[in-house]
Amino acid sequence: MSYVSKPIRKRDAMSLVTGKPVYTGDLCPAGALQVCLLRSPHAHALVESVDKTAALRVPGVVAIYTWEDVPQSRFTTAGQTWPEPSPYDRLILDRRLRCVGDPVAIIAAETEESAQKARQLLKVTYQVLEPLLDFTKALDNPIIVHPEENFRALCDVGTDAARNLCSQEEMTVGDVEGELAQSEVVLERVYHTRANSQAMMETFRTYSYIDEYGRLNVVSSTQVPFHVRRILGNALEMSRRDIRIVKPRIGGGFGAKQSVVSEIFPAFVTKMTGRPAYICYTRQETFTNGSPRHEMEMRVRIGADRDGTIRVIDLFALSNAGAYGDHGPTTIGLVGHKALSLYGTLKAARFGCQVVYTNTMGAGAYRGYGATQGIFAVEAAVNELAAQLGMDPCLLREKNMVRQGQIMATYYNEPCNSCALDRCMEQAKKMMNWEEKYPRKVLENGHIRSVGVAMAMQGSGISGVDIGSVEIRLNDDGFYTLLVGCTDMGTGCDTILSQMAADCLECDLDRIAVRGVDTDQSPYDTGSYASSTTYITGMAVVRTCQELREKILAMGAKMIGVPVEQAEFDGRRVFVPGGKEISLAEIGSASFEGHNHCLSSCISHSSPISPPPFMVGMAEIDLDPETGVVQVVDYAAAVDCGTVVNTNLARVQTEGGIAQGIGMALYEEVNHTPKGRLINDSFLQYKIPSRLDLGTIRVEFESSYEPSGPFGAKSIGELVINTPAPAILGAILNATGKAFHTLPVKPEDVAMALLEDKK
Amino acid sequence: MTVTITLNGIRRTGEVQPDTSLYTFLRQQGCLSVKCGCETSNCGLCTVHLDGCPVLSCSVPAFRADGHEVTTLEGVQKEAEEFGAFLADEGGEQCGFCSPGFILSVLAMARELENPTDDQIKEYLAGNLCRCTGYQSQLRAIKKWLAARKEGDK
């Protein structure tokens, strides 16, 4: 029996579908202090004074902390490998408030009601400052978001706080201006994407307590337990050896929980009071002070010849870090590297970027991590170029797309060892019946049916940085324990890593007990982000199993008294063909009996390359020219994630990512009041797709084989959010001739654009 | 004030404030399957059955359930397992946080609608948001489960 490439049920599935108490909020001990935060009503202000007198009189209030009470070392909450590229620009509570919702005070009380009542009674005097809200005017603005002296950047990412500059970068390949000058057609466009919210169903939440050894234990809904341990050490000025992080089941993350959003507050309360403490962010707080996608403005210049040869792409991105630089310097890199590298024929390419501070909510990591924004801009521009050339946008891509065997000059010169993008295009066209549907049909009811296309890529882990480790132990009746440090957040990595281990060890899946994550017990893993888990941690599983097999073979051979070279291991027994044998259960049991060694292996894996998965997405829309309403009636996706490890889970990842991408394209608005308060701070105003908003989403896999990946696998999780926005806008362009450049495209935008024609 | 609710078939009495939601009361009573994902009655995570009908427990004051029957997923474990197995076989639970409310809505739908079409299923469940799956796998699971039930009835 083999498990890889099968639709295996998730190992925790039945607990989840029967509603077992497995999430952070379900596990919090009774009697924990309830923690809430008083948040700033101003986008930019200084705290003059906080009068706690009345608040402290509320029965049940235990403690109220303000900026004077917290450690004064700056840190970043970005869950990244040290030294983090994100500047150290935060305090737990700061006297300077840099966005609406910045925390002013931490309130801990016996009950939620007491905490909330005390919050209402805190009297704060603010010195209100003029906010810097427009990120296009942030650079060298007289309003400085981070004037503090102890601001520091650990990495050289071009940070200059005095200029509101979080980071900058430039990459040039070939003679960009020369190629543009020689191009027969040059298209220049500016695109704008918003600070989308991950909107995972479980909001940020954490509880903490002091254990029997006197150590701070933090149980949290996080994607990055080991980073949380280090960051809490920084923030609380505590030694890391005194901190333990446990990750239970997580109710979704999508990158939101790659930042330390909620952990610090209860941890600080527990450190100060010695008592268990719990914080649960409201949905509103999750919207207003979470870790959303970086808002970006991207200028694209494409130079091409009339036959459709794309010669050069010049891309400049301005990114809004907001109040804090979490993930600012790193998301921006993907804008260029992942978008430009889709085109293998470029003679020249340039990517420039600036990430700036403003007085809006600090951004973070959201599935796609910059690639989503960059691919939207480049793919939308390529669709416009196709229209301008009068060429089928699929054909234009077929002429120019990256192909297996090429060196990707804009992708750190990595070789493209596994790429089925060409086959994905072929497959998607077949699925969509593109030839017949392109560009549009007008239905009897006046609606327009049209199709649009986009390509996408992502990485598989961060090359040379991400580390995945697993430990596998053989136990006394021949079953294995698989300890992982990566975080299953619903994606199913506990299951797919078990599948790989079962195949490598040639055993039944139920002989592998999987467990993650506890920083005291799990082997180190950077965490589940950057599409790393299948590719990086998966390879750690493969290598660990290889080593463990050798140990089992050696011990088995010794036990039956034959030279190891003559013995074989088939997953159930060590044997000499036609001769003596000993079962795995006997080997396992013997290793527990005092005269032998317990058999276990633990190998860490890192990769010098980050092989991209690829895909083609095609949207078929129904557009009502009277109302401007656009409905995605069908979405066809052909995906090359290398070997598909779990056919069900990869499919659901793809369907879910596409749904989020459709939301980004058509529904998910992010607007602020003139004073900087986020308006779209609930599911009433921030509309994520419901069942009624989505038509069919169809997925097929066109696998290449990645030689450096486990079983030939690459990544899937982030890639799949990248095609809907450009594909849908491409379909709108094909339906109406109207090109839109700002997301989301709302019915009123379409209707108004069409009205202009009637004038 | 005191309320008495028949919770999953067992009479439970508790003290509540006038503004205590049924959601809060149920969590206090140990029904931890009931989740909350918003403050605006939008997400459907807190769905429970009140006298057999699906309601948003975040928007029902606990005192309104006084003298009534409330069912959470803890009270329909067999049904949850039966349908849940179909969901799991599609990978459609993903993070699982919306599953309890979603499954209670599905169970109510199966009682209310006979041979529902895809559109009817989508409409009935429109109030149950999910951010992981894009809903396709859930629809596949529902249709297979309904078909299997029908087969079983023959």
A249 in contact with chain B, both atoms CB, cutoff 8 A = yes
Mutate to test the interface with B, among A690, A692, A698 (most CBs of B within 10 A): A690
Q: For residue A696, what are the contacts with CB-CB under 8 A and spacing of at least 6?
A: A633, A634, A635, B136
Put simply, the answer to whether B131 touches A688 (Cβ < 8 Å) is yes
**What is the per-residue pLDDT for A450?**
98
Q: Per-residue confidence at A501, pLDDT binned at 50, 70, 90?
A: very high
Query: Do A19 and B33 lie within an 8 Å CB cutoff?
Result: yes
Contact with chain A for residue B130, Cβ under 8 A: yes
Q: Residue A596: pLDDT above 80?
A: no
Alpha-carbon span A625 to A247, nearest angstrom:
49
Confidence of residue A592 (pLDDT cuts 50, 70, 90): confident
CB atoms within 10 A of CB A598: 12
What is the identity of the amino acid at A640?
Answer: D
Q: What is the pLDDT of residues A389-448, one digit of tens each?
A: 999 999 999 999 999 999 999 999 999 999 999 999 999 999 999 999 999 999 999 999
**Inter-chain CB proximity A18 and B137 less than 8 Å:** no
A718 with A458: CB under 8 angstroms? yes
pLDDT band at A595 (very low <50, low <70, confident <90, very high): low
Tokens coding A303: 């130079």
Query: Mean pLDDT over residues A109-128, rounded?
Result: 98
pLDDT band per the 50, 70, 90 thresholds, residue A748: very high
Q: Does B101 touch chain A (CB under 8 A)?
A: no
Among A26-40, A332-346, A523-537, A586-600, which is the least confidently predicted range? A586-600
Q: Is A70 helix (H, G, I), strand (E, B) or coil?
A: coil
Total-model pTM: 0.98
A331, A176 in Cβ contact below 8 A?
Answer: no
The amino acid sitting at A21 is: P
Cβ–Cβ contact A499 with B under 8 A = no
Minimal C-alpha gap between B152 and chain A (Å) = 22
| A652: chain B residues, CB-CB within 8 Å | 90-92, 94, 132-134, 136-137
Identify which of B42, B45, B91 has the shortest CB distance to residue A10: B91
Work out the minimum CA distance from A686 to partner chain B, whole angstroms. 11
Contacts with A657 from chain B: Cβ below 8 Å: 134
Tokens linked to A161:
């706080």
Distance between A609 CA and the closest CA of chain B, angstroms: 28
CA distances from A634 to A693, A723, B142 (A): 11, 14, 20
Taking the CA of residue A677 and the nearest CA in chain B, the distance in Å comes to 18
Chain A partners within 8 Å of B83 (Cβ): 17
- A223-261 tens-digit pLDDT: 999 999 999 999 999 999 999 999 999 999 999 999 999
Q: Please classify residue B10 by burial: count the beta carbons closer than 10 Å to its beta carbon, then call 0-12 exposed, 13-18 middle and 19+ buried.
A: exposed
- Is B32's CB within 8 Å of A19's CB? yes
pLDDT in tens, B9-37: 999 999 999 999 999 999 999 999 999 99
Give the pair of three-digit tokens for residue B61.
Answer: 């004051």
Range A11-45 burial, b when 16+ CB lie within 10 A, else e: bbbbbbbbbbebbbbeebeeebbbbbbbbbbbbbb
Residue A548 binned pLDDT confidence (cut-offs 50, 70, 90)? very high
Q: How far is B19 from chain A (nearest CA, A)?
A: 11
Residues of chain B in contact with residue A489, where contact means CB-CB under 8 angstroms, are 95
Q: Is the pLDDT of residue B43 over 80?
A: yes
Cβ under 8 Å to A: B residues 32-61: 32-35, 37-40, 42-43, 45
Which of A283, A656, A657 minimises the CB distance to B37? A283
Mutation to test the A interface, candidates B95, B107, B125, most A Cβ within 10 Å: B95
Interface test with A, best of B21, B87, B94 (most A CBs within 10 A): B94
Task: Find, in chain A, the residue whose alpha carbon is nearest to that of B101.
Answer: A19
What domains are there in chain A, each with its CATH number? 13-129+204-280 (3.90.1170.50), 295-460+610-758 (3.30.365.10), 468-605 (3.30.365.10)
Q: Is the pLDDT of residue A594 over 80?
A: no
Average pLDDT, integer, range B105-127: 97
Interaxial angle between packed helices A371-389 and A393-400, expressed in degrees from 0 to 180 and rounded to the nearest 10: 110
Residue A640 confidence (pLDDT):
98
Q: B153 CA to chain A: closest CA distance, Å?
A: 24
Q: Which residues, other chains included, contact A132 with Cβ-Cβ below 8 Å and sequence gap of 6+? A: A44, A138, A141, A143, A145, A164, A357, A358, A359
Compute the mean pLDDT over every residue in chain B, rounded to the nearest whole number: 97
Mutate which of A112, A652, A688 to disrupt the B interface (most B C-beta within 10 Å)?
A652
Inform me whether the pLDDT recorded for B154 exceeds 90.
Answer: no
Q: Say which of B91, B122, B128 has its CB closest to residue A652.
A: B91
Per-residue pLDDT at A345: 87
Structure tokens at B4: 């008495």
CB pairs below 8 Å between A and B: how many?
Answer: 176
Q: Which of residues 372-391 of A touch B (CB under 8 A)?
A: none
- Residue in B73, B127, B129 nearest the CB of A19: B73
Q: Is the pLDDT of residue B77 over 90?
A: yes
Mean per-residue pLDDT over chain A, rounded: 97
b/e code A656-680 from CB counts within 10 Å (16+ = b): bbbbbbbbbbbbbebebeeebbbeb
- Residue A593: pLDDT band by 50, 70, 90 thresholds? confident
Q: Does A419 touch chain B (CB under 8 A)?
A: no
Chain B residues lying within 8 Å of A249, measured CB to CB: 95-96
For A699, name the nearest residue in chain B, comparing CA atoms only: B136
Q: In this complex, is the C-beta atom of A504 within 8 Å of any C-beta atom belonging to chain B?
A: no
Say yes or no to pLDDT of A35 above 90.
yes
Minimum CA–CA partner of A252 in chain B? B95
Whose CA is closest to A338, among A393, A398, A378, A396?
Answer: A378
CA distance B148 to chain A (A): 18
Residues A613-658 pLDDT 10s: 999 999 999 999 999 999 999 999 999 999 999 999 999 999 999 9
3-class SS string, A507-554: CCHHHEEEECCECCCCCCCCCCCCCCHHHHHHHHHHHHHHHHHHHHHH
A758 falls in which pLDDT band (50, 70, 90)? confident
Measure in Å the smallest separation between the Cα of A664 and chain B Cα atoms.
12
pLDDT grade for A19, boundaries at 50, 70 and 90: very high
* A200 vs B73, B90, B131: nearest CB: B131
Q: Which residue has the higher pLDDT, A15 or A596?
A: A15
For chain A, give the percent of residues with pLDDT over 70.
Answer: 100
- Give B84's contacts in chain A (Cβ within 8 Å): 13-14, 16-18
Residues of A in contact with B92 (CB under 8 A): 652
pLDDT in tens, A146-205: 999 999 999 999 999 999 999 999 999 999 999 999 999 999 999 999 999 999 999 999
pLDDT of residue A183: 98
Nearest to A489 by CA among A527, A521, A541, A538: A527
Q: Does B15 touch chain A (CB under 8 A)?
A: no
- H/E run at residue A574: strand A573-575
Nearest residue in chain A measured CA to CA from B81:
A18
As a whole-number percent, the residues of chain A with pLDDT over 90 amount to 98
**Averaged pLDDT, A371-400:** 98
**Structural domains of chain B, with CATH:** 2-74 (3.10.20.30), 75-153 (1.10.150.120)
- With CB atoms and an 8 Å threshold, state whether B93 touches A16: yes
**Per residue in A259-281, pLDDT tens?**
999 999 999 999 999 999 999 99
CA nearest to A17 within chain B: B84
Interchain proximity A18–B96, CB inside 8 Å: no
> Is A479 in CB contact (< 8 Å) with chain B?
no
| A199 and B CB contact within 8 Å | yes
CB-based burial, B100-137: b 16+ in 10 Å, e otherwise:
bbbbbbbbbbbeeeeebeeeebbebbebbbbbbbbbbb
Distance from first CA to last CA of chain B, Å, rounded?
49
